[in-house]
Chains A and B, each alone.
Chain A
């Protein structure tokens, strides 16, 4: 019984984290690349549009808005939007919408930071070899930043586990929901303890996996 409860809650958590993680990482890559591309004079800073409207600053401002809302506030504030997308505002599927929206700006900053860490000398070397700005981003910056990106995405996914538990507490399902409904409201200490244990193990595994993957793809050592 306990095992069944935990198992299905775990699956819900994994679904929320997986779906929100996948979408936010893809969009985070695009936004993060845009932030770097449009702010760098050697890349897209001098694009004609940027003369009238600094795209990097616009993107950055939008990202900051997303980052400044506490997740709980974001989740409640976008309920109409969630309904529009998911057809409902409660349940695991509905929770994926605010989770994704909350994680995109996070992932975007993660990507931006990783790309900015790439050695300037290497970027300039690529430029003088006749690489176009787009080639610099995709053939130089992303591959060079890969180990750091993997760690950053791990960080994003771990934060999503945290957020998903919060989403669970307000009807999203998953481990957070289980802990509140059984462990807290029904005084089931065993459920509470088991949930906490599963969450701890889950995060440890994710972190361990992320670090292992990052060092496998790292050619610098």
Chain B
């Protein structure tokens, strides 16, 4: 479902690439974790997938569409196959929960009534059926992230990308948001990529685990195996000093 083929990305003014010849695949329906230290290139990986950053070489394809080669209207079309959940939620503060979830449908040209029905249904699924008309400022962080997840699912994407999606939440809310993602993965069959520095999240939810260090993949395999016998310097350090919390 997700294929990275020899992807390299170097930011202007940086001496080393943020992603260095990255290749991996994620099967449809899997939950794949990406862990690494701060600055390893995790967010860059997601930004390249969403088209926010252009890659320098290599290709990224999602559901068979090589998104890294697209621009303009074609890119926008392909982006509807991706749902993105953000660390800081990034909800539109001047729109209600319902209107936030309607936003991706509106920009895709879906009729208003249809968009509203779909948004209601999604907010129900994430457990916010009673907060349709609340503005983000009146919702807790956990509730805002639920709106973010409902919004990410609005266009029925095949892939859900989550960058540090629980970092702004307390452990209880993190856990329930993670469980929601796992349920959506099971119910809707959506492929999930979770970027995190919390190994506990990877351990609980991921089928596969990718470890990156300085832009390179240093481990890639079934999550259980990777966590049981960490081979890379970086994961060993993470396992011992512990970012389990």
Question: How far does the Cβ of A135 sit from chain B's closest Cβ, in whole Å?
Answer: 5
Which residues does chain A contribute within 8 Å of B113, judged by CB atoms? none
List residues of A (99-157) whose CB comes within 8 Å of B's CBs.
119, 121-122, 124-132, 135, 139-140, 143-144, 146
Which residues does chain A contribute within 8 Å of B51, judged by CB atoms? 127-128
Bound form: Cα–Cα A132–B90 in Å: 17
Task: Name which of A125, A126, A140 has the most chain B CB atoms within 10 A of its CB.
Answer: A125
B77 touches which of A119, A126, A130, A220 (Cβ 8 Å): A130
Bound form: Cα–Cα A80–B80 in Å: 55
Asked if A122 contacts B52 (CB within 8 A), the reply is no
Asked if B91 contacts A122 (CB within 8 A), the reply is yes
Q: Is B17 an interface residue (CB 8 A)?
A: no
Which residues does chain B contribute within 8 Å of A4, judged by CB atoms? none
B82 touches which of A128, A135, A146, A219 (Cβ 8 Å): A128
Asked if B137 contacts A220 (CB within 8 A), the reply is yes
Question: How far does the Cβ of A84 sit from chain B's closest Cβ, in whole Å?
Answer: 42
Bound form: Cα–Cα A140–B90 in Å: 11
A221 touches which of B52, B103, B137 (Cβ 8 Å): B137
A132 touches which of B52, B76, B92 (Cβ 8 Å): B76
Q: Is B38 an interface residue (CB 8 A)?
A: no
A130 touches which of B91, B94, B107 (Cβ 8 Å): B107
Bound form: Cα–Cα A131–B77 in Å: 10
Bound form: Cα–Cα A135–B92 in Å: 13
Which residues does chain B contribute within 8 Å of A219, judged by CB atoms? 93-95, 135-137
B52 touches which of A127, A139, A144 (Cβ 8 Å): A127
Asked if A125 contacts B90 (CB within 8 A), the reply is yes
Bound form: Cα–Cα A128–B50 in Å: 6
Bound form: Cα–Cα A132–B108 in Å: 10
Which residues does chain B contribute within 8 Å of A135, judged by CB atoms? 107
Asked if A121 contacts B88 (CB within 8 A), the reply is yes
Asked if A140 contacts B79 (CB within 8 A), the reply is no
Which residues does chain A contribute within 8 Å of B80, judged by CB atoms? 129-130
Asked if B52 contacts A131 (CB within 8 A), the reply is no
Which residues does chain B contribute within 8 Å of A122, judged by CB atoms? 90-93
Which residue on chain A has the smallest CB distance to residue B152?
A129
Bound form: Cα–Cα A127–B86 in Å: 13
Given contacts A143-B94, A220-B137, contact A126 B103 (CB under 8 A): yes
Bound form: Cα–Cα A170–B13 in Å: 55
Which residues does chain A contribute within 8 Å of B93, judged by CB atoms? 119, 122, 144, 219-220
Question: How far does the Cβ of B94 sit from chain A's closest Cβ, in whole Å?
Answer: 5
Question: How far does the Cβ of A43 sit from chain B's closest Cβ, in whole Å?
Answer: 12
Given contacts A122-B91, A125-B90, A144-B93, contact A130 B108 (CB under 8 A): yes
Question: How far does the Cβ of A27 sit from chain B's closest Cβ, in whole Å?
Answer: 24
B84 touches which of A125, A131, A144, A217 (Cβ 8 Å): A125
Question: How far does the Cβ of B177 sit from chain A's closest Cβ, in whole Å?
Answer: 17
Which residue on chain A has the smallest CB distance to residue B75?
A130
Which residues does chain B contribute within 8 Å of A127, judged by CB atoms? 51-52
Task: Name which of B51, B93, B155 has the most chain A CB atoms within 10 A of its CB.
Answer: B93
Which residues does chain B contribute within 8 Å of A125, judged by CB atoms? 84, 86, 90
Question: How far does the Cβ of A212 sit from chain B's closest Cβ, in whole Å?
Answer: 17
Asked if A143 contacts B95 (CB within 8 A), the reply is yes
Q: Is B141 an interface residue (CB 8 A)?
A: no
Q: Is B106 an interface residue (CB 8 A)?
A: yes
Bound form: Cα–Cα A221–B136 in Å: 9
Q: Is B29 an interface residue (CB 8 A)?
A: no
Asked if B86 contacts A121 (CB within 8 A), the reply is yes
Asked if B90 contacts A139 (CB within 8 A), the reply is no
Asked if A131 contacts B107 (CB within 8 A), the reply is yes
Which residues does chain B contribute within 8 Å of A140, judged by CB atoms? 92
List residues of A (194-221) whose CB comes within 8 Å of B's CBs.
217, 219-221
Given contacts A119-B90, A219-B94, contact A129 B137 (CB under 8 A): no
List residues of chain A with CB under 8 Å of any chain B CB.
Answer: 42, 119, 121-122, 124-132, 135, 139-140, 143-144, 146, 217, 219-221
Can you give 19 contacting A-B residue pairs, CB < 8 Å?
Answer: A119-B90, A122-B93, A125-B90, A126-B103, A129-B79, A129-B104, A130-B76, A130-B77, A130-B80, A130-B108, A132-B76, A139-B106, A139-B107, A143-B95, A144-B92, A219-B94, A220-B93, A220-B137, A221-B137
Closest 8 CB pairs of A and B: A125-B90, A129-B104, A130-B76, A130-B79, A128-B50, A121-B90, A219-B135, A131-B107
